[in-house]
Amino acid sequence: MHHVILSIPPFLLPKKSWNILMSDLENHFGDDAYVEEETHNIILKFLEQNSAETSTKEAAFMILDSLKNKDIIAITKSNYWKKTHKNIDNNIFSNSLVKSKANCKACHNDIEKGLIEDENIKNISSFTSYM
Ligand code: HEC
């Protein structure tokens, strides 16, 4: 469960998105995402305190700017994400090692630790041999 929610670092989504996401966990991720109220509140507080608004990272700033207060909970729907991934062939996202755009970790080794810099991104051309 934690894995699903925290598969992207909190600074990549605004407070509002984390709120919407956390208020509707079961619908988005199935029954597995149900958590006790106390745990839920701890997670939500953590996400809010570390959301994009609180970050000085460039990516956080860009996300906020690109979402413009829209109710987006999937970062892949943001213009910022689309722009930063526009050079990646769609076949790469659907190949067996990646499977989905939401599988950030397939390419960003340490994304859950907040490391999104180039040196933490795998060489995606290595995926092409698995198409
Ligand atoms: C198929 C591989 C792949 C997947 C899957 C992927 N990314 Fe990326 N991502 C990249 C590559 C490659 C770049 C660098 C693009 C460039 O510099 O031209 C990048 C760039 C980024 C950047 C910009 C970093 C910067 O400072 O410029 C962010 C933020 C990011 N990805 C977040 C995510 C998140 C969050 C997810 C999952 C929802 C995700 N990515 C899924 C390959 C991927």
Which ligand 1 atom lies nearest to the CA of residue 87? Answer: 18
User: What residues contact 70, with CB distance under 8 A and at least 6 apart?
Assistant: none
| Percent of the chain residues past pLDDT 90, beyond the cut | 39
Q: How far apart are CA 18 and CA 106, in angstroms?
A: 23
Tell me whether residue 80 is in a domain: no
Which ligand 1 atom lies nearest to the CA of residue 103? Answer: 5
Q: Which residues line ligand 1 (CB under 6 A)?
A: 8, 12, 59, 75-76, 84-85, 87-88, 92-93, 98, 101-104, 106-108, 116, 118, 121, 124
**Per-residue confidence band for 1, with pLDDT thresholds at 50, 70 and 90:** very low
pLDDT at 115 over 80: no
Q: Domain of 120?
A: 87-131
The whole-number pLDDT of residue 2 equals 43
* Cα Rg of the chain (Å, integer): 15
Cβ(111)–Cβ(7) under 8 Å?
yes
What total of structural domains would you count in the chain? 2
Mean pLDDT value across residues 30-42: 76
Other C-beta atoms closer than 10 Å to the C-beta of 104 total 20
Which ligand 1 atom lies nearest to the CA of residue 101? Answer: 5
Final residue belonging to a domain, choices 20, 36, 71: 71
Tell me whether residue 66 is in a domain: yes
**Per-residue confidence band for 73, with pLDDT thresholds at 50, 70 and 90:** confident
Tell me whether residue 76 is in a domain: no
* C-alpha of residue 36 to centroid of ligand 1, in Å: 32
The whole-number pLDDT of residue 26 equals 67
Nearest residue (CA) to ligand 1, atom 37: 104
Tell me whether residue 78 is in a domain: no
**Per-residue confidence band for 88, with pLDDT thresholds at 50, 70 and 90:** very high
